[in-house]
A and B are shown apart, each in its own frame.
Chain A
Amino acid sequence: MQITCLQCVEAACAKVCPAGALVRNEETGAIEVLANRCVGCGLCEAACPFGHMHFDTQLRLAVKCDLCGGTPTCAAFCPHDALEIR
């Protein structure tokens, strides 16, 4: 079964980030990467208990699901309506 970022209430990624680069967007509820603050240390990727924090080795930045700003493309795209946003 495919799962994606759970936007945890007590997010491990945000807890370990030493640069304050992972913050919750209060509008969408998503934890977002502030790319201008990320120093590319990789601690968040290693910390996420569900394996949903990623490190872009080209950009040397953390990347993660940000719920596409509130309208997740994955949910709209799924042909079987197996994903929905509530």
Chain B
Amino acid sequence: MTVQFTIDGLEVKAKEGEHLLDVARRHGIDIPSLCHHEAVEPIGACRVCLVEVRSGQKTTITTSCNFLVEDGIEVHTDTAEVRKHRAMNLELLLARAPKSDVVRKLASASGVTRTRFEPLAYEPLPNCILCELCVRTCDMLGHHALTTVGRGDKKRIGLPFNKPSDNCVGCASCLSVCPTQCISVKDTPTQRAIWGQKHDFILCKVCGAPVITKKHRDFAISEKGLPEDYYDTCEKCKQSAASKRFASVVW
């Protein structure tokens, strides 16, 4: 079913079950966010994507990423109330991620350059805003390696019980999606260190360059039913082999 409503005065149409943030962005209306990613379900964790929704007599301030669109609502993305609450949330986030460029930029766009809150940053993820995008992504990928540990001020992201986990394949997707890029990944020519564990790379059978981790390959091969030798050559060596093969066909 189609629903119809307005965002900042613009008439928009969307499908029932769609989230407000996605609909707004599709219509070129920019709502800032940190923890939203289209590949995973939204949870409204960072609380930066606030909007004002008016429905009949009722006006609410809500996160737009996980708000299901409704017929006839009136959405405002840039009211004084929205700006006030967003600025407060960014001030809180700044206490967690004082060194994150992304957070600092967003905060200063909201007029927040310093925070009155006690610093909450913790090692080894000094700029973690606890948005759980890493956890959600790892789950979506089928690895289920990450979790939240502890509660309240002591809440942390990590491997369950902070113990080495067989589930982590060392794909580093958690770092790729992390809004503050605070997850440590260290690659050597033969190994990747992540979440306190070391993963061996498959080395290109031609030149010895790292391809992906062995555990990541094993997972992908069994998941997709691929042949055993699927990931045994690096990008560059496959490129030059393909060029030679094509040249021999053309000439």
Residues on A close to B: CB < 8 A?
1-3, 15-16, 18-21, 34, 36-43, 45-54, 60-61
Contact = CB atoms under 8 A, between A and B. Distances in A.
Contact of B216 (A1, A2, A40, A43): A43
Contacts, number: 90
A46 B229 CA distance: 11
B140 A18 contact: yes
Contacts of B235: 45-46, 48, 51, 53-54
Contacts of B211: 46
A34 B250 CA distance: 33
B164 to A, nearest CB: 21
Contacts of A39: 37, 39, 137, 140-141, 173, 176-177
A3 B246 CA distance: 8
A37 B176 contact: no
Contacts of B176: 38-41, 60-61
B175 A41 contact: no
Interface of B: 37-39, 137, 140-142, 171-173, 175-177, 211-212, 216-217, 220, 223-224, 226, 230-231, 234-244, 246-247, 250
Contacts of B212: 42-43, 46
A21 B40 CA distance: 12
A37 B243 contact: no
A57 B238 CA distance: 19
Given A46-B212, A51-B239, 6 more contacts: A21-B39, A40-B177, A43-B220, A51-B242, A52-B239, A54-B235
Among A18, A40, A54, residue most surrounded by chain B Cβ atoms (within 10 Å) = A18
A15 B230 CA distance: 13
Nearest to A61: B176
B220 A16 contact: yes
Contacts of A42: 171-172, 212, 216
A15 B224 contact: yes
B39 A19 contact: yes
Given A1-B247, A40-B173, A43-B212, A50 B239 contact: yes
A11 to B, nearest CB: 13
B132 to A, nearest CB: 14
Nearest to A20: B39
B128 to A, nearest CB: 17
B37 A36 contact: yes
A68 B235 CA distance: 22
Which 8 A/B pairs are nearest by Cβ-Cβ distance?
A40-B176, A51-B239, A51-B238, A60-B176, A1-B247, A50-B242, A19-B39, A41-B173
Contact of A46 (B231, B236, B240, B250): B231
Contacts of B238: 48-51
A82 to B, nearest CB: 11
A40 B172 CA distance: 8
A40 B212 CA distance: 12
Contacts of B175: 40, 60
